[in-house]
């Protein structure tokens, strides 16, 4: 993962598509000044902004997240797996609460 926002990569992708930073700001709901902060690593991007940038640039969101220095979930950590883990944790907490509630 990149440790910083890779401005040259984003500028090159914009140039390949004949787009400007203003277009990038607009699709992400940012002002030009806010996007400038992103490019200078002074502002983080949200998941929605990553998705908007990816669509605009014609690349996968994971590539945008990597180039933007955004931490991404570990591969293989599917929604179903996270849900199953959460359900196990909730069941364990409910069992612990039941034991606490049954002690005199």
For the chain, the domains span 7-67, 74-104
pTM metric for this prediction: 0.66
What are the tens digits of pLDDT across the range 75-89?
445 666 667 777 877
What are the tens digits of pLDDT across the range 18-59?
999 999 999 999 999 999 999 998 998 888 899 899 999 999
Q: Based on the number of CB atoms within 10 Å of its own CB, is 57 exposed (0-12), middle (13-18) or buried (19 or more)?
A: buried
**CA 52 to CA 65: how far, in whole Å?**
11
CATH hierarchy code of domain 7-67: 1.10.260.40
């Amino acid at each position: 993962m990149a440790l910083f926002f890779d401005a040259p990569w984003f500028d090159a992708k914009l140039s390949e598509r004949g787009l400007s930073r203003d277009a990038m700001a607009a699709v992400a709901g940012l002002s030009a000044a806010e996007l400038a902060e992103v490019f200078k690593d002074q502002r983080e991007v949200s998941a929605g902004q990553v998705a908007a940038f990816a669509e605009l640039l014609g690349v996968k969101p994971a590539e945008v997240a990597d180039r933007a220095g955004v931490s991404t979930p570990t591969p293989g950590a599917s929604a179903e797996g996270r849900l199953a883990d959460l359900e196990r944790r909730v069941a364990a907490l409910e069992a612990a609460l039941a034991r606490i509630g049954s002690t005199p």
